[in-house]
Chain A
Amino acid sequence: MSVLVQPLITEKLTRLQEEHQQYAFEVDRNASKPEIRRAIEDKYPDVKVARVNTMIMPSKPKGRYTKSGFVQGRSKVWKKAIITLKEGEIDFFAEI
């Protein structure tokens, strides 16, 4: 199982990218900061990571109405990593 699950692109994170060279990823729940750093530097050879911040995004109750009434559930718990770069930049769309 790879450490990096998917890059995150939102309005707020785009601002972070532009202002602080910070990029965000959804990462494996059990990945440690050094593992994430290694993974990033493997995947994008041109960049140097300065700092990795992680946070566990909590589960929240989710529900939706269906034909047979209200279905209740919870969103999964996941880990978000915000990576500050020393040099280089990441182009998420180069891969597509």
Chain B
Amino acid sequence: MELSVEELTSVDKEITIKANREDLSEKFDKAYKKYKSQIQMPGFRPGRVPIGLIKKRFGKEIEMEEINSYVEEVYEKEIVPEHEPVGETQMLDMSWENDELEVVFKIGAKPEFELKDLKEIAIDKMVHDVSDEEVEEEIERTLQRQGNWEEVEDEITEESRVTVDAVSLDEDGNPIEGEKDEDQKLDLRQDAAADFREHLVGHKVGDVVEMELGEDEEVDRFELHVKKVEVNHEAELNDEFAKQNSNGQAKNVDEFKSYIKSQMQDYYDQSSDEMFRQDAIQAMAEAHEFEVPEVMLEQIKNNFVEYAKQQSGGDLPPEFDVEEYKENMSEQAVQQAKWGFISHKLQEKFDDIEIKPEDIDEYIGVEAAKYGATAEQLKSYYAQNPNQLENLRNNIRENKVFDKLTEEVTINELSKDEFRKKREEENEKQQIPQV
């Protein structure tokens, strides 16, 4: 047997295994002996079929099977300990001709890099304290949302909600049959309804308004038949309202205000944490320059596709272009792969991380709340699925690494507005089209 390694890049390697019948004959003989006792053939007592006959009849299949197991063995025993492949190893070619076996693997090697000084890495973090004005605004919005709609005979104003039937028109202004949207509710206070607001204000129930949407060549013309006009009566802010809208946690208006405030603060903190995490991963990936094995990228991209599949309910829509999608995701894939290696390095650096039982309890508690199950149910689930348990440990370890990382890196605390401004500037710089 011969092993030859060709380095494609610093992290991509092509390994060729060459072997001939002599290397394999021991395995073959063993397999034939094994099958001899198993094969049942008419005309022969079990175990009495001559090996020559087995070779002639089932030789190809048996040898192919043995070759596969041989290749697997070589991979596990020779390649894995020496090259430590990462990602999914690809088998590029395998041939068994004229008693010569040739197998070509493509493997990814662990990239070599040094961790940067974490203090030099600066990451923005949004810090925002919810102000009383914001609370007032939020309460105002809630009041409007919870208000009652009353049907009126008056003219439509900018504050109204209108129910219309929309009939599409062709170029000559005649209604197109079958293209009718009935009972469409338009809340004219919303920004999305700005076009409608312009045309509808001033009209009454029973009026027919003709309008166009879109620009230049792509114009949709249609008629709106006004069926109902309603105005909103804001709900009253009182103790009863407070109780209803806080799941009974606030007993009066003052408590309701602080309830809303804490909810908003939680929301901001959470999204700020999430964004920080994203930014940190990005910053770490950008700060460390190294190549990522191709096989690993391919694996991550495949995972993305799997995820997209799950998102759309098991099957991809027919117009979905897998290759294009992979192309679009390649930057993200690189980032994720890099983060994988960096996080590994970090784990080595912070080797004092320990997972204690109470960490697991805490994590399970959070998970349970997320899925609406009890902690006990989740625990028994993990007890039954040891693989998942390993995942769980990895997640906890990663969280801990992240906590450590947060302590080490330089954090730029920015207010909400500053943060947003900076984001926009960055986006402009990169010229990423906003979708």
Query: Which residues does A use to contact B, with CB under 8 Å?
Result: 8-11, 13-14, 91, 93
A-contacting 9-mer, from B45-53, B75-83, B403-411: B45-53
Query: Which residues does B use to contact A, with CB under 8 Å?
Result: 41-45, 48-50, 53, 56-57
Q: Can you offer 15 A-B residue contacts whose CB atoms are under 8 A?
A: A8-B43, A9-B41, A9-B43, A9-B53, A10-B42, A10-B44, A11-B43, A11-B44, A11-B45, A11-B48, A13-B43, A14-B44, A14-B53, A93-B56, A93-B57
The minimal Cβ–Cβ distance linking B136 to chain A, given in whole angstroms, is: 86
CA distance A14 to B53 in the complex (A): 9
Chain B residues near A93 (CB, 8 Å)?
A: 56-57
Chain A residues near B56 (CB, 8 Å)?
A: 91, 93
| A14 with B57: CB separation less than 8 A | no
The minimal Cβ–Cβ distance linking A56 to chain B, given in whole angstroms, is: 20
Which 6 pairs from chain A and chain B are nearest by CB? A10-B43, A93-B56, A11-B44, A11-B48, A14-B50, A9-B43
Interface of B is mostly: loop
Chain B residues near A14 (CB, 8 Å)?
A: 44, 50, 53
CA distance A93 to B53 in the complex (A): 9
Nearest to B48 among chain A residues (CB) is A11
CA distance A9 to B44 in the complex (A): 9
CA distance A8 to B41 in the complex (A): 12
Give 5 new A-B contacts, CB below 8 A, not counting A9-B53, A91-B56.
A9-B41, A10-B42, A10-B44, A13-B43, A14-B50
CA distance A13 to B43 in the complex (A): 9
CA distance A63 to B312 in the complex (A): 60
CA distance A11 to B53 in the complex (A): 11
Chain A residues near B41 (CB, 8 Å)?
A: 9
CA distance A15 to B57 in the complex (A): 18
CA distance A11 to B57 in the complex (A): 15
CA distance A65 to B89 in the complex (A): 57
The minimal Cβ–Cβ distance linking A94 to chain B, given in whole angstroms, is: 9
Nearest to A8 among chain B residues (CB) is B43
The minimal Cβ–Cβ distance linking A76 to chain B, given in whole angstroms, is: 17
Chain B residues near A9 (CB, 8 Å)?
A: 41, 43, 53
The minimal Cβ–Cβ distance linking B392 to chain A, given in whole angstroms, is: 55
CA distance A11 to B56 in the complex (A): 15
CA distance A47 to B36 in the complex (A): 30
